[in-house]
Structure 1
Amino acid sequence: MSLDTEVLIDRRRIRRKLTFWRVATFSIIALGLIAAIIATAELDEFSKRRPHIARLAIDGVILENRKQLKLIEEIGESGNVQGVILSINSPGGSTTGGEALYEALRELAEKKPLVAEIRTVGASAGYMIALSADHILARYNSITGSIGVLFQYGNIAKLMDTIGVEMDAVKSAPLKAEPDYYSPASPEAKAVLGTLVNDSYEWFVKLVAERRQLDQDTAQSLADGRIYSGHAAHNNGLIDAIGGEKTAIAWLEDEKAVKADLPVINWTVKDTEEGLPISMKMTQGIGIGLANGLIDELNLAKWLISPAITLDGLVSVWQAPGAAQEKSSVRGGGQ
């Protein structure tokens, strides 16, 4: 056997060994990560079997979410939950979604001490759900308020004229499906929408007055749609104190006799995939990792579209770009 042949054979052996160890190393790391994820989930479930404070986070745009409402019901039924911290970071969302969440949280507050903590932003429907709590906190520079209701609709009539498209319709009555996107809204249609918006707005203002123990005129003056810093909201009686989670725990201890040394456990909506086999979870995890990389790039442009456009019906939402993200928190100083 020639020297070149022996060298070639040795190289092939080395490559096979390297490939084996690379695959083995990857498999060990993957299995370790999966084991850690499973152990963490099991640890959370185990932790819920002893007395604790439940942390319920409401992040992003608020919609009517049956799983979330069910989770709130489960918190209320748990004998191990001694108190609840409602952790809010939301610019608002649909008015009916906020109403459903508010009602579920009020039922929870009848069973468990409930304190709301507004983090970066808790505006519009985000502030609405904070009203469900027995005590509301916000950071000095948190954004809250924006009490009001909005109905938006687009109109592309000029664009359709430009590209030569014409729309027509046969209606049972003039106000059916009004306003539409292909013709200017009639005064009658705008009047109907105004009545709808004002009806919901009056309900919201009444809720603020009732929960914050304000007279109707004061609540009305504060509910002109403006946003408030946590400091201004405190001065105006829209929240009870300045602080974060530590302050919330201290209030639970002082006012509700909840032990301050209890662990704070996250309660989250369970994934529908939690019963999948490990092999499928591995595949899913890899897919999620790749997707997240793409999503990070898409997020750079997502605020070109108003979040209200993706919501049907009445909305109560503060529409500052990226308001629901932690990384967009208010910072002191100018640029």
Structure 2
Amino acid sequence: MCILWRFIASIIKHTWYLLNFIREFFLNLFFILLILIGISLYFQFEKKTTNSTNSALLIDLSGIIIDKPIMNDKLLEWSRELLRSSSAHLQENSLFEVVEKIRQAKTDNDITGIVLSLNNFIGTDLSSLQYIGNALHEFRKSNKPIYAISDSYNQMQYYLASFANKIYLSPQGSVGLKGFSSNILYYKSLLNNLKITTHIFRVGSYKSAVEPMIRDDMSSKAREANSHWIKGLWQNYLIEVASNRNLSKEQLFPNMATDIISKLQAVNGNLAQYALDHKLVDKLASRSTIEAELTDIFGWNKENKDFNFISIYNYRIKEKLQQNNQIAVILINGTIIDGLQIPGSVGGDTAVAQIRQARLDPKIKAVILRVNSPGGSVNASEVIRSELVALRATGKPLVVSMGGIAASGGYWISTPANYIIANPSTLTGSIGIFGVINTIDKSLESIGIHTDGVATSPLANVTTIKALPPEFSQIMQMNIGYNYQTFINLVATARHKTPKQVDQIAQGRVWMGSDAKNNNLVDQLGNFDDAVKKTAELANLNDYELHWFIDHNSLSNMILNQISISVEAILPTPLFIIITMIKEKINSFNQFNDPQNCYALCLACGDLH
């Protein structure tokens, strides 16, 4: 019997060794293949990016624009070459790289114009659009023309197109001006049906982040606050686009939907003709006609069999000489969570490490904290804020540049700044705290499962499978109240107000940047460029360079991520929507990891269409 068992064990052992060998062999082979592909793509890219004179910079953006993409620019270019993904709507682009390339093209003698090819551009927040718009306006003022081309334009696409000298539209296309909306899913009834008990702890009349779990509709307080800022954003949009097109707001978008309908009836429902007649576009033309006109302007490229252009993805940013005087730019992009960073979020420990590095580096003379976050964990927010206080204690100036959103925890971490600059369309404030704990005791009871046991105290008996002890609920609510008061006091100290004055504009209410300036929550209205100027002024720097703290993803992670994106892109639309919603919910659960279940988070701020 022993001999038999030894024989069986020997077979299992050698089989295991063989499987390990095969696994390691193929992993090494895959790794070598990646290296060879990377080298090949690098040289192809180097060759491809040499462009001729009299070229257009083709801004053929795919996907969305954010402050801090998961993949850096080089890996994104390689992924396009390697996988040829059709998932354009899932790509991420760096706001600051797009703007820098436009500004470099302005003084590049080889670039004689810009072509905005916007079919695959999905959008971004309004403040980011405005920052890109500033760069396009500067380019146009250099007497280089801009042309916009698209089969149709959504609102984000049309905002950028409005900066063009000439806007082309397909004869079957449209300009989709509709207005802004913000919609949230409410699932109180679902939780009731599942017999899940939601325990809510909050401070702030306007703190609507928990409403989806306790209501089936929007509260009057939330409706009041959200209506105010969403109407303000739409007015900002209309004013800027109308100015670009030399129209009034009413000409661009009539106040009454019935006016649009009557004007459409006059052209038999032809949306393209409506856009042309009302000067939303300059010409209706097919793709071949547009190509012929752009060829007359920029010349013909025999190799590419198209007009002369270089894609913004292949247009290289020229390297600059490093200087000893540096201004660090630290990007806080996404929900703030405890621990290390995961894609789409800001890890408290990761951010602290970057701030500490900037604090200890003698070359870094000042710091810009770029905040584009709805907030998140109170604990992580405080960890980041404390490290920023240590930075300021060294005498290095700290300026906060607010992006599209800098609310709740995003505002918490902004309080140590010497100076805060927000865009007029920034969503900020939302000074409030909440906590959420769900228990499934009733769900289990409904299917015949009961929980019982012993504990040394009621506080030791906290579990999701039992009802929360009332003693724990009291402690939780007191802790929420304490953290809210802490938040109020931090803001009061930073903004030279009394806690009572801050409380009057707090209570979880969301403010637009222009309102925040009126309420003294920010110091200046402006964009990232204004933040750079202010930082250099505070640090007494004439010559300096920006030192960007960028996370670099590995090539293997990039490929795995891109393969996932490519698979999702070929799914049927209904299935893709379901999978996306599930992924978003899983990610949101990962983001709720505060050790005390306390959150300074604005969930409504980012849901704008």
Measured against the shorter chain, the TM-score band is: 0.7 to 0.9
Correspondent of 1:142 among 426, 432, 437: 426
Query: Residue 164 in 1 paired to residue 437 in 2?
Result: no
C-alpha displacement of 1:284: 4.4
| Post-superposition CA distance 1:16-52 (Å, at most 9, x none) | xxxxxxxxx96764344899949x9xx9999666423
Contact 1:60 1:91 (8 Å CA) reproduced: yes
SS at match of 2:438: coil
Superposition RMSD on alpha carbons, in Å?
Answer: 3.3
1-side partners of 2:357 and 2:530: how far apart?
25
Counterpart Cα distance in 2 of 1:191 and 1:44: 59
Pair 1:134–1:177, CA change in 2 (3 A): farther
CA distance in 1, matches of 2:602, 2:516: 16
Indicate if the aligned counterparts of 1:95 and 1:316 stay in contact, CA closer than 8 A. yes
Q: Which moved more, 1:159-168 or 1:219-228?
A: 159-168
1:300 is displaced (CA, Å) by 4.5
- Of the structure 1 ranges 157-166 and 223-232, higher mean CA displacement relative to structure 2 is found in 157-166
Residue in structure 2 matching 1:30, options 41, 65, 72: 41
For the pair 1:228 / 2:511, whether they are aligned, the reply is: yes
1:205 pairs with 2:491 = no
The within-5 A match list for 1:66-77 is 66-77=349-360
- Counterpart position of 1:59: 333
8 Å contact from structure 1 (residues 307, 319) kept in 2: no
Deviations 1:180-208 (A, max 9, x none): 33344344332111111111111111111
Q: Distance in 1 between matches of 2:383 and 2:417?
A: 14
Q: Secondary structure at the match of 1:289?
A: helix
The CA deviation at 1:254 is 3.7
Q: Which amino acid aligns with 2:534?
A: W
Residue deviations 1:103-122 (CA, integer Å, cap 9, x gap)? 11121123321100110111
Matched letter for residue 307 of structure 1: S
* Percent of paired sites with the same residue: 24
How much does 1:134 deviate?
A: 0.6
SS at match of 1:151: strand
Question: Contact (CA 8 Å) 1:55, 1:266: kept in 2 or not?
Answer: yes
1:181 aligns with 2:464: yes
Higher relative contact order (CA 8 A, sep 6+): 1
Give, in whole Å, the separation in 2 of the partners of 1:46 and 1:74. 22
Q: CA, structure 1 residues 45+97, in 2 after alignment: closer, same or farther (shift >3 Å)?
A: farther
Deviation at 1:92, TM superposition (A): 0.8
Matches within 5 A, 1:1-150: 29-32=40-43, 37=74, 50-64=324-338, 65-111=348-394, 112-150=396-434
Quote the residue 1:289 is aligned against: 562
Rounded Cα–Cα distance in structure 2 between residues aligned with 1:54 and 1:81: 6
Alignment deviations for residues 137-166 of structure 1 (CA, whole Å, 9 cap, x no partner): 111111111112211011223322232222
**Aligned equivalents of 2:414, 2:378: Cα separation in 1:** 14
Alpha-carbon separation, structure 1, partners of 2:319 and 2:357? 13
Partner of 1:152: 436
Q: How many residues align?
A: 288
1:209-256: per-residue Cα shift (whole Å, max 9, x none)? 111110121012222111111111111111111111111122224444
| Superposition map of 1:169-318 within 5 A | 169-178=453-462, 180-259=463-542, 262-269=544-551, 281=555, 283-293=556-566, 298-304=579-585, 307=588, 310-312=592-594, 313=596, 314-318=598-602
SS of alignment partner, residue 76 of structure 1: helix
Distance 1:51 1:161 in 2: 65
The DSSP-based 3-state class of the residue aligned with 1:79 is coil
* Distance (Å, rounded) in 2 between the aligned partners of 1:165 and 1:69: 45
After TM superposition, the structure 1 stretch with the greater mean CA deviation from structure 2, 73-82 or 241-250, is 73-82
Distance in 1 (alpha carbons) for counterparts of 2:604 and 2:450: 34
> Which deviates more from structure 2 when the two are superposed, residues 100-109 or residues 57-66?
57-66
Structure 1: any 5+ residue segments left out of the alignment?
Answer: 1-24, 274-280
Amino acid at match of 1:59: N
Could you say if the C-alpha distance between residues 218 and 293 of structure 1 is closer, same or farther in structure 2, counting changes exceeding 3 Å? Answer: farther
CA distance in 2, matches of 1:301, 1:228: 30
Instruction: Using structure 2 for the length normalisation, give the TM-score.
Output: 0.43
Residues in 2 aligned to 1:292 and 1:79: alpha-carbon distance in whole angstroms: 41
